[in-house]
Structures are given as structure tokens and as C-alpha cells.
Amino acid sequence: MKSNNNQNAVVLTAEKPEHQTRIFGINIQTIIPFISYRWFTLFGISAIVIITGITMYFLKGGFILGIDFKGGIRVDAQVNNPSVNIKEVRKIFTDARIEADVSTVGNLSDRQFMITLPILSSENSTDEVQMINGLLGKNFGSDNILIKSSEKVDARIGQDFGLKAFYLILISACLILFYVIFRFDFFYGAGAIGALFHDVLFMLSCTLILNIAIDLTVVASILTIIGYSTNDTIVVFDRIRELHSLNKDADYENIIDRSITQTLSRTIITSMTVFFVVLSIFLWGGVVMKNFALLLLIGVIDGTYSSIFIAAPITYMLRRSIDKNLKESKANRRKVAESLKS
Amino acid sequence: MSKLTRFIILLFTVVVSFVFLAPSIQWYFFLPQKDKDLLKLSQDQLDIQTFEVRKRATEIKIIRKGAISLGLDLQGGANLTMQINEESLTNLLLEKYDFDTNKLVADYKTEYANASDRALEVLKNRMDQFGVAEPLIRKTFEGRISVELPGLSNPQQIMEALSKAGRLEFKIVDEKAMKELEAMKVPMVPREGWVASRQDVPTNFVLPEGSEWASCWKNDEFGIPKLNGWLVLFKKVELDGSMINNARADHDQFGGNVINFTLTPEGADIFDEVTAQNVRNRLAIVLDDKVKSAPVINSEISGGSGQISGDFTIEDAVFLQNVLKAGSLPVKMDIVQQRVIGSSLGEDSINDMIKGGLIGAGFVILFMIIYYRISGFFSLISLTFDMLYVLALTASVPGTTLTLSSIAGIFLTVGIAVDANVIIYERMREELRRSRSYRHALENGFLHARPTILDSNVTTLIAGFALYAFGQGSIKGFGLTLCIGILSNIFAALFITRLIYDWILDTFKVQKISV
């Protein structure tokens, strides 16, 4: 069967060398057989990351939730004392019998720490921020402490945030699915939605692997990537649809391979430009947006990857197994090809 | 469309953009700090300033309203989310329903929603006490109320003031003093009959023993209380809010808006006595020391129920109903979320973000020019317009704040913006390989790129819209800038890039432009 497909490709290309593609000045004469590689990509690279993610999920007993979702207190404090280090800061809290999580923010030389702890009392009047300020001040000199930002989230509101974020992703996924079905057809819709869920799973896995707490910024980055990745997918789909309607009888696998190859230079260039921007926000954009930018960096690569290696193969496999016309036309073409051979 | 029409359209969009941006440019680049500080004055303080200062303050306020405001993460400040204390509400309702738990469970949802509406009025009423230039109070999801206090770094001191229940009192207006003021030709607010400004009160007016000045407040079109005038009230509290049983906005037989209220048995007796002694006098309804309304007592009111009528709009009536109920059901508020951002962090973040974003944008433009040569330069031009539209549209949506994530969104659209150009150029290159004529390739390139650009951007638009419509706080802002970015980006790529091509090709009589 494989050889048959290749022959079809040759028959088609003999008409006009139109699918010759140039990427960065390099002529690409052949069509890259993306679809043939689908098992490798579908169950290779993606599966490794996602299975690692799922394993981590069970090992860690769920996602790492930020205080936005589980409630708690976060204080971002700068300690202008040259002798300070993270171990000492941690010790202060263990000595005070407070279950606090301390991490450094930005460069070590900034001596900036992020302290996260659960809410100690449900009373409004307890001011944990002042308490932390006091504890740090007692050990490092109260003039040296600068509370850069603080946040306190009640568990009640956290749960609502979590649910809302979940619905947000679900609603946008449904809307995108409807749009793709409306503009294309069901098979493309399934491909797009498959890629979309792959993106969400992939990014959630990355939060587990990289130990990033899920907060509202993470949700925002996932949604941005959903939009970006579908955008990428649509460009490929658009080309598949165009080529498919021009050559109704052509082999579908070949059409997809041709479409991806033809749009490949655009895909790479766009990913690169978005990657430039996100990378410089990651490197120079300040500490606050670091996690956001990091997830976007992963997402840009994953989004590009998924539109080529996930969306198109799913569309292909679904159509091949369900769409009768496609099978028939394929059978017809095989007959023609065989008759030509003989 | 002819080139001229298209050029005029382009010019028009640029002019409109600058109109939207004008207040922001004025506010951030030209206004001296002294003028900006005028906004920090509370209404009472402003009332004792000279006319020029007050006029200037109004002008500044209009500029401020039109300017893009910076989110708390950029200028520093406190953000509090408040929620009704359910325990205190349940206790109050149990009493109200005579411990009928079934009825309480059935009505709890509506009662909760009503209580949070009332709490919102109470909080708005306290807005000017926070000493913050632009406090922002609004409802968020599930009946919660979000309070934003820019520039405030220690919310602890005002948390007490925020979470306490509203205090409703009824006081009698000192009509003798008011008559005296009228005789002194002090300008009065028409219809309401209260002193317009305390500045106009002559120095020889002596406040009677046992009386006090009280400020009167009316809601503006946004439902925000605004200082409207002053009344002299007797200090004695005749009734307090706990004596109100219920209040309801209603229509009278002439179709006018009225508020019907009932009193507790204890309240009914006191009210009967007070109204009997004060017929033709005004009874001031005072919430947290602010007069909300001062209706005239037409006759003795016995039987524990009364009606307030007047020239009310339906909003006024519902507002007064909420004020009366706030007194009868004084629920406490809890602070369920509190976020404080120091102003130094905000300043650092905005500088870092702009630095990072500009470096990224620079890379993108450099790449485009190297890779597509003159066409890459065209995309730089259309990107410039794109940015102008993004900023102008952001400024044009009222209530939009620029947060760290929305600036990130703007820079991200730079990356995505060139995508539309990339799609066009790549398509043109393909067409060029196929056909000999440059014009033909240009025509086909744009023709085939258009549906691709539209389809692919609509999906991002959907994600952005979901973020805007269902998201909260900074996510909302990010969603909005993403949407705005996409829309202006489609326009810039398809309309402006094409116009540049046509203009260059025709004017300079060149055969082709490198792509």
C-alpha cells in the first residue's frame, strides 16, 4: 500500500512541479510524508510528555495549585540584608511552627523571596502579612524588609476560581469546535479539537514536570495557546481544503502531506516570530511574568507541533475510516493506477 | 475601491485613533502632578475650594475618564474581594422569618442576592473615606464585590471600615436654620431645598446648639454617590435602621415611583410620635452620616407603614429601597481575597515588560526585513498602524485598565500580527513561482491569503473573547487586548499592506517589489 501511495504522488507531481517549496532559500522538492510518521509522533513525543505528566499527577496527588485556586497567602518580600539566604528564611518559619513554602524570585542577588502559606485563621482581623513582615524584621532588621506584594485568597473563592477556569477552557473549546465544523466539516473539527485537548494536556503535564503552581496566569497562558495553536491548525486545514477541492480524486494522504509541506515555511516563520517575542519577555520581561512566558514558550512549540502532527493525522484517520466516498475514490484510483501500470 | 477612497479611510482611522488617545497622551505626558492631585480630594474637601479649582478638577476628571488607566499590578495598590458573611445573614433572616427554616431555605438565594446589592450601596457610600483617588467598586461573580484601591499599600486600616454593616439613621431637618439660610440668599439646590455649597454660607450664620451640618448625596448616572448639597440636621437620632421592617420600590396610582416601607412595632410607635410633632418638616434618611433623601412629612404616620413619594426615577426608588433595607438587615462583610502590590514592584514590572516586549518586537521586525526585504519593511509600516489601533481601541473601551498581562497580550499580538503578513508573502512567493506576472501573483496572493487569515484569526478571537467574557480581573484585560489586537491586525494586514503595495507600484512605476 505504501508503494502505491508514493506512486500516486509521482503521478500527481508529474503534471506541474507546483508543490516545490522553499524554506529559508532551500528548495524542498519532495513532499514530506508527515502522515506516514503519525504513529511515531502521536504515540512518541506527545505520549512521553503526557504519560510523564499523568505519572507525576498521581505521584504528587493532583495538580500543584496556586493560592488562586486553593486559597492561602503569598508574600513577595525583599530582604536587604547581605547575610540572608533561603535556608535561613525557611528556618524562621519552621521555628515559628508555620508551614510556609519559601522560594527565591528572580536573581539570587535581588534577595527577593516568595513565601506561601495557608490561611491561619478565618477571622478577618488576623493579618498574616504583618506577621510575616514582623518575623522577617525580627531576624534581619525591620528596616531591611520590603513587602513588594502580598495576596490572600480565601478557600471559598479559590474553589469558584477553579471551576470558572475549567468552564472557561471548556466553553472556548466548544466554540472553536463549532466554528471549525461550521467553516470546514466534522472531520476537521475533530482534528482541531483533538489537537486542542492535546495542547491542554501537554501544558498541564509541563506544569507538573516543571513544578509550576497553577494559578490564573497559567490558565491565561493555556487559553492563549489554545487560540494560537488552533490558528496554526486552521492555516494547514485551509490548504488541505483548497488542494482537496482542486484535486477531488487525488489521494487524501498525499493532499495532506502536500498541504503541510507547502505551508511549512509559513508555520516555521510565524512560530519563530511569536517565539522571539515570548522569549524576550521570558528573558527580560521581569519576574512577575516569568512563569507565564515560560508556559507560552512551551506552548508555542507544542501548538506548532500539534497542528502538524496531531490535528492533521486525526482528521486523516477519521475521514479514512468513516468517509465512504474517500474509500471508494481511493479504490477507483488504485484501479486506474494499476491499469496504467499494466 | 479606488486608491483615494482607501487612503481617505486610512486617514480617517488614524484621526479617530488619535481622538481616542488624546486624553491618555494628555494625562501621562502633559498634566503636572499638581493637577492630578486634585483628584485625591474628597467631595467635601473640594466643596470648600475656589471656583477655579473646582472647575479645573472637573476638567481633570474628564481627561482621566478618557485616559487608559493602569491596573493595580502596574501602579500598585490594594484589591479586595468582599463577600456577605453568611452566618450573620442567616441569623438575621431566621429572626425575620420567625425561625421558619423551610421558608428561609426557599428564599435564601434571593435574600443573598438582595443583601449583596445592599452591601454594594453601602460600600459605594463609603468610597470617599478611603483617601484614594480612584476607588473602583463593582460586583463580580456569585454576588461578590470587588474593591480596587489604587496607591493604597496598607489595606488593614480600612478593612474594618469596609466590613462593618451600614448604619442607617433618621434625623429631623432643622427647618428654622434652613429658613434663616434661605433669607440670607444662600443658593439652594432646586427642588431638594438644600444648600448647594457650604462656601456660600455667610460667616454671620450661627449653627444652632444641638444641630449639625450634614452632607447630602445623590447617585450620578453610573450609580456613584456624588456630593449634592448640605442640610442642617438636629443631632438627635429619631429612629435607626433596625426599626425598619421592610421596604419596597413601587408605583403609586399616578404611575410615579414611590417607596413603601413598614416598621417594627417598636418603630411604629416612635415614628407615630415623631411624625406627629414634625408635620411639614423634613425627615432626613442618613446612611453612614450621609443624607440620602429628605422627604417632607405630610401628615402624622401611624400604623407602622408609610410611603416616600417624590420626583424619583426607578433607579432612585430602588436605591432608596436598598438604603432602607440596608438599615433593617445590617449584614457584615468578609474579605475573601486581598491583593496588595507595592508601587515599586509595579514600576519595575512595567519597565521590564516594555523592555522585554520591545526587544522581541525588534527581533521580529529585523527578521521580517531581512527575510522579505522591502515587503518586510511594509509589514513594519502596517505593524505601526496596528499598534496605533490597538492602543486607541483599548482607550476607547470604557473601564479598560492596562495590566501587566494586557501589555504582554499587546506584545504577543506583534508576534501574531506579522503572521498575517507572512501568510500573504508566502502565498505571493508561491504564486510568483507559478506565474510570470508580478501583478497577477500579488492579486492571487492576497486573494488566497484572505480566507486563511480570516479563518485562522477567528479561532484566536474566540479564545480571546472567552477570556474577556468569562474571565476575571487581569485575565479579562488580557482577553480584551488579544481580541483588539487580532481585529486591528486583520485590518492592518489586508487593508494597509495592500494599499502600500498598490501605491508604490503605481506611483513609482516599479515592476515588482522584493518579497
Domain boundaries, chain B: 3-27+342-507
Q: Determine the pLDDT at residue B131.
A: 67
Lowest mean pLDDT among A325-334, B26-35, B131-140: A325-334
B323: closest CA among B249, B263, B273, B265?
A: B249
**When comparing pLDDT for B478 and A173, which is higher?**
A173
Tell whether A308 and A273 lie within a shared domain: yes
Q: What is the CATH number of the domain that holds A21?
A: 1.20.1640.10
pTM of the model: 0.76
- Over 80: is that where the pLDDT of B432 sits? yes
Q: Determine the pLDDT at residue A5.
A: 41
* Residue B385: φ, ψ to 5°: -60, -45
Tell whether A244 and A310 lie within a shared domain: yes
C-alpha grid cell, residue B228: 449634592
Q: Mind telling me how many Å the CA of A175 is from chain B's nearest CA? A: 7
Chain B hits for A148, Cβ within 8 Å: 341-342, 344-345
Q: How many CB pairs under 8 A join A and B?
A: 230
Question: Buried (b) or exposed (e) across B250-280, using 16+ Cβ within 10 A?
Answer: eeeeeeebbbbbbbbeebbebbbebbeebee
Q: Mind telling me how many Å the CA of B330 is from chain A's nearest CA? A: 18
Chain A hits for B455, Cβ within 8 Å: 183, 234, 238
Q: CB neighbours (10 Å) of residue B47?
A: 17
**Among candidate residues A153, A186, A215, the one where a domain is terminated:** A153
Tell whether A286 and A252 lie within a shared domain: yes
Tell whether A187 and A266 lie within a shared domain: yes
* Average pLDDT over every residue of A86-113: 83
CB B123 within 8 A of CB B159: no
C-alpha B139 chain-centroid distance: 11
Tell whether A111 and A210 lie within a shared domain: no
Lowest mean pLDDT among A83-87, A90-94, A122-126: A122-126
A28-75 residue pLDDT tens:
667 788 888 777 776 677 888 889 999 999 998 888 888 888 888 888
Q: Determine the pLDDT at residue A329.
A: 59
Looking at every residue in chain B, the average pLDDT score rounds to: 83
Residue showing cell 524588609: A145
Cα separation values, A23 from A36, A52, B88, Å? 22, 34, 68
C-alpha grid cell, residue B39: 483628584
Tell if the CB–CB gap between A235 and B368 is shorter than 8 Å.
no
User: Which stretches within B126-166 are classed as H helix?
Assistant: 156-163
Tell if the CB–CB gap between A280 and B357 is shorter than 8 Å.
yes
C-alpha B181 chain-centroid distance: 37
**How sure is the predictor about A237, in pLDDT bands with cuts at 50, 70 and 90?**
very high
- Return d(Cα A187, Cα A193) in angstroms, integer: 10
Tell whether A103 and A146 lie within a shared domain: yes
C-alpha grid cell, residue B342: 507595592
Tell whether A25 and A171 lie within a shared domain: yes
Tell if the CB–CB gap between A288 and B459 is shorter than 8 Å.
no
Residue of B nearest to A239 (CA): B452
* Average pLDDT over every residue of B407-426: 84
Q: Determine the pLDDT at residue A11.
A: 37
A171-194 residue pLDDT tens:
888 888 899 999 898 899 999 999
* Average pLDDT over every residue of B269-288: 87
Given B336, B342, B466, which is nearest A168 (Cβ)?
A: B466
Cα separation values, B64 from A96, B127, B405, B502, Å? 47, 18, 22, 41
Tell whether A245 and A335 lie within a shared domain: yes
Question: Which residues, including other chains, have CB under 8 Å from residue B69's CB and lie 6 or more apart?
Answer: B134, B400, B401, B402
Residue showing cell 499592506: B497
C-alpha B379 chain-centroid distance: 36
A74: closest CA among B337, B375, B243, B59?
A: B337
Chain A hits for B81, Cβ within 8 Å: 157
Tell whether A59 and A80 lie within a shared domain: no
A167 at B interface, C-beta within 8 A: yes
Q: How many distinct structural domains can be found in chain A?
A: 2
Q: What is the CATH number of the domain that holds A93?
A: 3.30.70.3400
Tell if the CB–CB gap between A230 and B463 is shorter than 8 Å.
yes
Tell whether A149 and A263 lie within a shared domain: no
Q: Mind telling me how many Å the CA of B107 is from chain A's nearest CA? A: 22
- A324-341 helix and A2-13 helix, angle to the nearest 10 degrees: 80
B498-508 residue pLDDT tens:
999 989 888 88
CB B328 within 8 A of CB B241: yes
Q: Which CATH architecture has domain B3-27+342-507?
A: Up-down Bundle (1.20)
- Burial of residue A231 (CB within 10 Å: 0-12, 13-18, 19+) is buried
Concatenated DSSP letters of B30-88: I--HHHHHGGGS-HHHHHTS-HHHHHHHHHHHHHHHHSPEEPHHHH-EEEEEEEE-HHH
- Over 70: is that where the pLDDT of B473 sits? no
Chain B hits for A20, Cβ within 8 Å: 433
Tell whether A31 and A59 lie within a shared domain: yes
Structural domain of residue A88, as residue ranges?
72-153
Q: Mind telling me how many Å the CA of B406 is from chain A's nearest CA? A: 11
A282 at B interface, C-beta within 8 A: yes
Given A22, A168, A232, which is nearest B470 (Cβ)?
A: A168
Cα separation values, A158 from A163, A201, A261, A320, Å? 9, 22, 46, 45
Helix, coil or strand: residue B287:
strand
**Among candidate residues A104, A121, A153, the one where a domain is terminated:** A153
Cα separation values, B25 from B17, B18, B31, B304, Å? 12, 9, 9, 58
Q: Determine the pLDDT at residue A16.
A: 44
- Return d(Cα A25, Cα B59) in angstroms, integer: 59
Tell if the CB–CB gap between B345 and A76 is shorter than 8 Å.
yes
Residue showing cell 474581594: B81
Tell whether A255 and A124 lie within a shared domain: no
Q: Mind telling me how many Å the CA of A226 is from chain B's nearest CA? A: 7
Kindly compute the dihedral angle of the four CA atoms of residues A156, A160, A161, A162, in this order, to the nearest 10 degrees. 110
